[in-house]
Copies of this chain bind each other. A is one copy, B any other.
Amino acid sequence: MNFCSDNVSPVAPEIMAALLSANQGAAMPYGHDDYTQRLNSRFAELFETNVTVFPVATGTAANALALACLTPVYGAIYCHAQAHIYEDECGAPEFYTGGAKLVPLPGNHGKLNPEILRQTPMGAGVVHQVQPAAVSLTQATEAGTVYTVAEVAAIAEVARAKQLFLHVDGARFANALVHLGCTPAQITWQAGVDVLCFGATKNGAMAAEAVVFFNSDLAQAFQFRRKRGGHLWSKLRFLSVQLEAYLEDNLWLKQASHANALAQKLAQGLIHLPGVNLCHPVEANEVFVELPESLIVALEQAGVQFYRWPDDDSQMIRLVTGFNTSEQEVRAFLALAKQHSLLPV
């Protein structure tokens, strides 16, 4: 039982099969292969609009490279104080942007609040201050919640009013989408998103993310920045084919639905136990829950793998389900939790 993260999962069999099938003979390097060449049209179909798509191997690279296309070096990027780009990328956005500033904003359940964004002083035109450039939100959020179409649109409206580009870190975009039940178009460009980092790694790829620009002007520098960042694979077919297989037959949506459903089961099974509090609504594939210390210890001692959150001293734990998490694992976990919950401390 490993609920540490969705990135502990292996590669989906369908994607591994696609890698094997792409492994035939010579192919021109650096994206001049068939798989990469058809990515733009494949994603255009998915998003029902023209897009410019760049595959990269990691979410950190996707986010940092995308943000670097949205801000001058003296720019400000507004994000949630718990955003992955702010907390967990060792300064990659600062590195790729040439030192732009990420401005942390508060917000409930991991979500940016449009009103707070609106009221944040941004110093546009004031030479002493970094200049407003972009806003970044995470979909699904770091708290396992999902922005509705209306919520994204409300942030986009403030962003537009303040001339900020809107970036979405979609490391768990699939999980968000199946929760929302809307189209990819509705929750992205139709709601005002300029660029989406469309994650695949956490949901079954080996190492593949697509940076999807809905505004092609913003994409001009991307190819040079990607090469300069060392993120242009020579054998790029093996990255692109992962994305192709990920979309094929709605694999991505099926896998995300599976993971989301199991997260719901975990949450439903836990909330009835004594001393258990759900910390955030469970809308994607993550469960944040407060447990009695005795129960946390018992689960740890039983060999279940998960993280206390945000750190080792916390009473809150995070449970993440993946495309390959099984119903049995969830049932076994809940049985264990129930059993230790009933024991006297």
Contact = CB atoms under 8 A, between A and B. Distances in A.
B26 A230 contact: no
A239 to B, nearest CB: 7
A73 to B, nearest CB: 6
Nearest to A224: B74
Contacts of A201: 234-235
Nearest to A86: B101
Copies of this protein, total: 4
Nearest to A220: B72
Contact of A232 (B62, B102, B127): B127
A23 B305 CA distance: 19
Contacts of A226: 127
A291 B188 CA distance: 47
- Place the interface of chain A in its size category: 35 or more
Contacts of A95: 73-74, 98-99, 228-229
A206 interface: yes
A44 to B, nearest CB: 22
A92 interface: yes
Contacts of A62: 230
A267 to B, nearest CB: 21
A55 B339 CA distance: 43
Nearest to A56: B230
Contact of A94 (B10, B87, B101, B221): B101
Contact of A131 (B9, B224, B305): B224
A250 interface: no
A230 B60 contact: yes
Interface of A: 2, 4-5, 7-11, 16, 19-20, 23-30, 56-62, 64-65, 72-74, 87-92, 94-102, 104, 121, 127-131, 201-202, 206-207, 221, 223-235, 238-239, 305, 310-311, 324
Given A8-B27, A10-B235, A88-B128, 5 more contacts: A57-B233, A65-B230, A74-B95, A96-B230, A121-B310
